[in-house]
Structure 1
């Protein structure tokens, strides 16, 4: 497959109809790199033939969108590993530094005594999602 990139406005809609994310909110279209392995095969198949000006809506299973929930990405950490100023309540998102130096968002799922449960799965892992794309330009 040849490498190409599309600049798209994208809304990500959950099965209950709520919008999980939208590039229109920030006013910054997303760059989709086709052919480099960064997108799932199912996602690439949906967008491969799109051209500037096209609008396309499609739904992907969790496995083809952001992946299934990986239990190995849920960690129980001691409260002492967190800065005292950080609010440790369920739903709070904290940035962690991965071994490779990348910043990874983690969601606090539970706090019990000195044990803090952190979920490093993508917030949309395990969810079927609908993508609403509008191709702005080919790069």
Structure 2
């Protein structure tokens, strides 16, 4: 079974820098611990992606097409298809005073967030501190690097509802999937999240990304409950609406029970 563009699959992978062998990303918990990149809040195990949707870097994404499920591969990605080439213009010079005003003592290797004159915030890494000047590199740490991925195609998901669940797992891994109600039609998808213990801002961002992902699969209409519009309402208004919905459901259940238990009249 081969992988095609638009397929929803699960993959395991480990990414290394070709020149040094340094591991920078992996789905294996034990590998992450050995490499010193383990994140206690991270989610490890086969990751779901939609092939061609940009869930992984472009050079890896396009090279997944044509691979076979159940097999392992070594894939090399050049810099221009990974995190880009290094741009000398992204190396900026600041004064030490600019950092000290923010309570930062600059030293090589320190990762910093700098606000430019235009008000834009940029993350970079200090590369030198000399003569009262601080040079900061705003290139991605992997820019200019050739990357090597060891990839295993674990599964190709065929069931439409399981595809949607997989995309939700990708975008909102903290969601309780047992509470989800998913309806999939020929051209439309409806997802009801119900009482999830999740920040509304996180859910809003997740819904925005999910809508794009689901439409990539070919669906034309995507509906969420609660919708983004509902989540943007003031918290008190949200709570009142949730209470009304709950009361309506309870009333409907009582009416149904009463109707079912009503004695037959001859």
Pair 1:94 & 2:125 matched: no
Which 5+ residue runs of structure 2 have no aligned equivalent? 33-38, 158-165, 167-266
Return the alpha-carbon distance in structure 1 between the equivalents of residues 125 and 62 of structure 2.
Answer: 31
**Does the Cα contact within 8 Å between 1:65 and 1:129 map onto a contact in 2?**
yes
Superposition map of 1:1-139 within 5 A: 3-14=6-17, 15-24=19-28, 25=32, 26=39, 27-28=43-44, 32-37=49-54, 39-40=57-58, 42-50=59-67, 53-82=70-99, 83-84=102-103, 86-96=104-114, 104-137=122-155, 138=157, 139=166
Superposition TM-score, scaled by structure 1 size:
0.72
Which 5+ residue runs of structure 1 have no aligned equivalent? none
Superposition TM-score, scaled by structure 2 size:
0.42
Of structures 1 and 2, the one scoring higher in RCO (CA 8 A, sep 6+) is 1
**Does the Cα contact within 8 Å between 1:9 and 1:28 map onto a contact in 2?**
no
Number of matched residues? 136
Runs of 4+ deviating beyond 6 Å: 97-101
**Does the Cα contact within 8 Å between 2:126 and 2:135 map onto a contact in 1?**
yes
Richer in helix (by share): 2
Return the alpha-carbon distance in structure 2 between the equivalents of residues 33 and 76 of structure 1.
Answer: 41
Task: Point out the structure with max Rg over C-alpha.
Answer: 2
1:52-96 deviation per Cα after TM superposition (whole angstroms, max 9, x unaligned): 644321111111221110112111122233222x34211122244
RMSD of aligned alpha carbons: 3.2
1:75-121 deviation per Cα after TM superposition (whole angstroms, max 9, x unaligned): 1122233222x3421112224468797x7531111111322111111
